[in-house]
Amino acid sequence: MSTPAAISIRDLAKTYAGSGNAPPKHALKGVTFDVPQGEVFGLLGPNGAGKSTLINILAGLVTKTSGKVDIWGHDIDRDRRNAKASIGIVPQEIVFDPFFTPFEVLDIQSGLYGIPKALRRSDELLRAVHLDDKRDAYARSLSGGMKRRLLIAKAMVHSPPILVLDEPTAGVDVELRRQLWELVGELNREGVTVVLTTHYLEEAEELCDRIAIINHGQLITNKPTRELVEMTREKIVVLTLDRAIDQLPYHPAFVKSAKRDERTLEITYDKDKVNAGQVLALVQDQGFLIEDVTTREADLEDVFVQLTSKQAAKASPA
C-alpha cells in the first residue's frame, strides 16, 4: 500500500453567505486533491482564488459548506483534536501582543497546546528560526521578517508533522524572501510536510515539489513542478534582421510570428516540432540576414496564463 496522504481533500466547498444585498460567494466549488507526505506543496492562485478559505478550513477558522478533509488521517469533523494536533498554521495576517517576548510567545502557545513545561521546545525553536538572540526582546521591536519567523516557530510548538504557511512572503523584500525559503527548506529536510500558498509563480517554482493551481474556487491542475513547467511546449525567439520586414516568414511549426518593430521579429514555435537552429535557418532561407538573436524559455508564468485562459474560455458567460 502506498503512504497515506498528509492531507486529503475531497469535494471541498465553501459558500460565504452574502451580507446585506451582496449575493452568496462561492469561494470553493468542490475541490479535490491530496498533499503527499514529505513534500513542499504549493497552492498557487491569484488573489481571491480561495486559497485562504481552504487554509482557514484546515485551521478550523472557517466552517466548510460540504466535502471531507482528513489531516494526517484524522477527519476534521469527527476527530478535530487529533487533526489539530497534526498541523501547524501560519496565518496570512501577522498578529502578536507587542508586549510579549519571543520566548513568552512560544511558551504561552505551548501552554495552549497543553505541553508540560519540561517538554516545551521554545529555545530550540528560537534557534531553528534564528531568533535566539531576540529571546527576551519585546515582539514590537522585531522587524517584519523576524515576526514572520517567530510565527513559524509558534506554529511548530506542538511538533506537528505538517506546517502550513498562508502567503508567507507577500509584501516581503527579496532578501527576507530568500531567508524564509531557506527556513522552509530546512524544516522540510527534517521531515516536515510543508503546504504554502502564494500568488508568486517564481516562489512556487523555486520552492515546491508539487503545485496545485486554483482559480475562482476551482482546482485547475495539480502536478509535480517539473511536469508543470514542461507542459509549455512553446518557445520564443526574437530576431533582429538586416532590413525591414515586408512579409512575415511562415512555417507550420510557428505558432505565431509577429513584428515588434520594422526589423525585429518575434517567433513563437513548438519546440517538439522544430529547434531554434531550424527556426533561424527557415528565416534565412526566406532571404533575411540575422543580426541578433535572443530566446526566452517558457516558465511557469506561461503555463499559468495558458491554463487560466483556458478556464476562462470554458466558463459560460454569466
Residue ranges binding ligand ADP (CB under 6 A): 16, 25, 27, 45, 47-53
Cβ closer to Mg ion: 27 or 207? 27
Q: Work out whether 53 is an interface residue with Mg ion (CB under 5 A).
A: no
Selection from ligand ADP, Mg ion, none that 45 binds (CB < 5 to 8 A by kind) is ligand ADP
User: In this complex, which beta carbon is closest to ligand ADP, that of residue 93 or of residue 175?
Assistant: 93
**Beta partners for residue 222, in sequence order:** 212
Query: What is the closest distance, in whole angstroms, from the C-beta atom of residue 306 to ligand ADP in the complex?
Result: 20
Closest CA to 90 of 36, 157, 174, 14: 157
- Least distance in angstroms from the C-beta of 292 to Mg ion: 43
16 vs 181, which CB is nearer to ligand ADP? 16
- What is the C-alpha separation between 211 and 227, in angstroms, rounded? 10
48 binds, among Mg ion, ligand ADP, none (CB under 5 to 8 A by kind): ligand ADP
Smallest CA-to-CA distance from 135 within 126, 124, 144 is with 126
With CB atoms as reference, the residue minimizing the distance to Mg ion is 52
Select the binding partner of residue 110 from ligand ADP, Mg ion, none (C-beta < 5 to 8 A, by kind): none
Q: Which is it for the CA torsion 197, 199, 202, 203, positive or negative?
A: negative
When binding is defined by CB under 5 A, the residue of 52, 109, 179, 222 that contacts Mg ion is 52
**215 touching Mg ion, by CB under 5 A:** no
Instruction: Please tell me the count of residues contacting Mg ion according to CB under 5 A.
Output: 2
Stretch that binds Mg ion, among 46-54, 209-217, 286-294, 302-310 (CB under 5 A): 46-54
Picked from Mg ion, ligand ADP, none, the partner binding residue 100 (CB below 5 to 8 A depending on kind) is none
Cβ–Cβ under 8 Å, residues 255 and 249: no
Q: Which residue has the cell 516558465?
A: 299
- Classify each residue of 204-234 as buried b or exposed e, where b means 16 or more C-beta atoms within 10 Å of its C-beta: bbbbbebbbbbbbbbbbbbeebeebbeebee
| Angle (nearest 5°) at CA 184 between 308 and 215 | 15
CB of 21 or CB of 47, closer to ligand ADP: 47
Q: Which residues contact 213 (CB under 8 A, 6 or more apart)?
A: 44, 45, 219, 220, 221, 222, 304, 307, 308
Judged by beta carbon distances under 5 to 8 A according to partner kind, the member of ligand ADP, Mg ion, none in contact with residue 47 is ligand ADP
Cα separation, 12 vs 35, whole angstroms: 14
* Residue 109 interacts with Mg ion (CB under 5 A): yes or no: no
Q: Is 266 in a helix, a strand, or coil? A: strand
User: What is the smallest separation between the CB atom of 206 and ligand ADP, expressed in angstroms?
Assistant: 20
| Interacting residues with Mg ion (CB under 5 A) | 51-52
